[in-house]
Structure 1
Amino acid sequence: MSQAIVDQPAVEFGHVAHVTVHFDDLDAFGLLHNSRYAVLLERALTGYWADRGVSYQAGQRSAPDVFHAVREFTIAYQAPVTGTGPVAVHFWLDYFNNSSARYSYRFQSTDGRTVHAEGQRSIVRIDPATMRPAPWTDTARAIASALLRPAPADA
């Protein structure tokens, strides 16, 4: 394991996951291709939830909460990721409502000094039988509570 991964930056809220940028994630200029940020974010989020028992394996959902759809994805690029290796993805929840949630995220260097990109990703929990919004389970609510960003203190 590299020292960069061991020295993971501390965060006040949310979670930091390290994902690996591979050669085929790069564009012709050796930069992380813009379309790959969404894939790497998905891998960071999937790993977080899977480590807590909410996953999709062997064609089966471990929990109903796995069945959700992305409603919106935004990203603003700050500094390019150059080359392969680990990149840190800091993510948190801005809200976790009845059937929807909004993540904010930040791609950063593993030492936390460089912000590469940041944005938001909104999802909606879907009932697979009706394809309509459905409420999150108590399990999902408990897991999500650890990701919620605290409300700012009034000045």
Structure 2
Amino acid sequence: MTTTVPGVIETAEVHFDDFDPMGIVHNARYGILVERALMKYWIRHGWSFDPGRSKLGDATLAVREVSITYHVPIFEAGTVDVHFWIDKLGSSSVVYGFRVLSPDHTVVHAEGRRVQVAIDRETGRPKALSDLLRKAAEPLLVSSPPAS
């Protein structure tokens, strides 16, 4: 990939326990690779596992939906790059698009979407995204998704 694309690319570690008995990364582990990449971005922008320490307000987001299309298996431990962006930033939800790439970006291993909803910790019900979180999300927001 030689062109500039919207979104962010973060590196994620592929560990030996991510592999299935066939010697390829297990399909369920791709969501974890995406999670690891997203966490790098959000922690760097002030999010914390402890809501009292988060610089983004009370940002508790629960995954509502994940869909993944698998293209080329990952056969080796090491690193992959995860390219992600936000397709839609709603009042209480975030819709990400993502691609799991080889380190040199010549192979798209998988691509998909992930929907998260901000929830109130006391009620478990959806709540509005904080203005601080919305501002930190702006660099990820794209008007049209990148081509695969």
TM-score, normalized by length of structure 1? 0.86
Q: CA RMSD in A?
A: 1.8
State the alpha-carbon separation in 2 of the partners of residues 78 and 70 from structure 1: 23
State the alpha-carbon separation in 1 of the partners of residues 141 and 64 from structure 2: 19
State the alpha-carbon separation in 2 of the partners of residues 137 and 70 from structure 1: 17
Equivalence for 1:86: 79
Q: How far did 1:107 drift?
A: 0.4
State the alpha-carbon separation in 1 of the partners of residues 37 and 128 from structure 2: 23
* Unmatched segments (≥5 aa) in structure 1: 1-7
Structure 1 residue matching 2:140: 3-state secondary structure: coil
Equivalence for 1:28: 21
Structure 2 residue matching 1:56: 3-state secondary structure: coil
Aligned length, in residue pairs: 143
Matched, 1:105 2:73: no
Equivalence for 2:65: 72
Task: Write out the 4+ residue segments of structure 1 that deviate beyond 3 Å after TM superposition.
Answer: 8-11
Structure 2 residue matching 1:146: 3-state secondary structure: helix
Structure 1 pair 126–61 and aligned structure 2 pair: CA distance change class (3 A): farther
* Sequence identity (%): 43
State the alpha-carbon separation in 1 of the partners of residues 21 and 52 from structure 2: 37
* Unmatched segments (≥5 aa) in structure 2: none
Matched, 1:150 2:143: yes
Equivalence for 1:137: 130
State the alpha-carbon separation in 1 of the partners of residues 34 and 48 from structure 2: 16
TM-score, normalized by length of structure 2? 0.90
Structure 1 pair 10–46 and aligned structure 2 pair: CA distance change class (3 A): farther
Is contact 1:46-1:55 (8 Å) kept?
no
Equivalence for 1:14: 7
